[in-house]
Amino acid sequence: MLTPLLIAAAVGYLLGSLPFGYLVARAKGVNIFEVGSKNPGATNVRRVLGSGPGNLVLALDAAKGAAAAFAPYGWRLMNGRNSSQFGSQEYGYFALAGVIGAILGHSFSCFTKFRGGKGVATGAGGFIVLFPPGAGVAFVVWALAVALTRYVSLASMLAAVSLPVSAYFLHRSALMVGVSAAVAVFVVIRHRANISRLLAGAESKLGQKNPHPPVT
């Protein structure tokens, strides 16, 4: 089963690597890697270019994760359920591999010299398919944290940490708990610069405009 797992991860990586944040900003004459936090994620795009482009990038980045999770199931459906040597449990493994690949692709895109975002939206899209109850809890945590603090970075980290907690208390498999915990650790590590700014009181809040003019 190793080869199909690697294929699923590779497909997920390529999907995740699609640099929508960079492309949307570039269409507006902005190199997103040179403005704001220099991150191609939806939050920085929104801060630099406004809610329209930011929301578009958010949706597209989430769609990458969802597509990576659904791709193995879609392949199975197209080829007939009875034509495969693998059962539904194995396809769950492939979907997990695809989401992990997509998060890594988004964060280290081969199309942008291995630069990328922090994997939050892409991971959210994947877990909506893989673990809808956990994704729902994570969204509530994110929304409450944003409402109370206005810090998207803090809300994103708390939402990510809620995933393995939900998986554990909702009696999901040890694999789901482990993978969601690894994703949470990865998201927190990717936010290390934000953590430093939060501790220093210098982190930007939701709705705060980028103080630096766009570089075209």
Question: Quick check: is 173 in a domain?
Answer: yes
Question: Quick check: is 193 in a domain?
Answer: yes
Percent of the chain predicted with pLDDT > 70: 90
Distance CA 145, CA 157 (A): 10
Predicted TM-score of the model (pTM): 0.90
Distance CA 197, CA 186 (A): 18
Where helices occur in 108-191 by DSSP H, the ranges are 120-130, 132-149, 152-169, 174-190
* pLDDT higher than threshold 50 for residue 211: no
* pLDDT higher than threshold 60 for residue 42: yes
Q: Which residues pair with 109 in a beta bridge?
A: 115
Confidence of residue 4 (pLDDT cuts 50, 70, 90): confident
Distance CA 173, CA 154 (A): 27
pLDDT of residue 147: 96
pLDDT of residue 108: 98
Q: Which domain holds residue 50?
A: 2-200
Q: What is the CB neighbour count within 10 angstroms for residue 128?
A: 19
Domain count of the fold of the chain: 1
Question: Quick check: is 205 in a domain?
Answer: no
CA 93 to chain CA centroid, nearest Å: 18
* pLDDT higher than threshold 60 for residue 107: yes
pLDDT digits (tens, 9 = 90+) for 145-185: 999 999 999 999 999 999 999 999 999 999 999 999 999 99
Question: Quick check: is 214 in a domain?
Answer: no
pLDDT of residue 78: 67
Question: Quick check: is 154 in a domain?
Answer: yes
pLDDT digits (tens, 9 = 90+) for 51-91: 999 999 999 999 999 999 998 877 766 666 555 566 677 88
pLDDT of residue 214: 42
Question: Quick check: is 151 in a domain?
Answer: yes
pLDDT of residue 86: 66
Question: Quick check: is 216 in a domain?
Answer: no
pLDDT of residue 216: 34
pLDDT of residue 8: 93
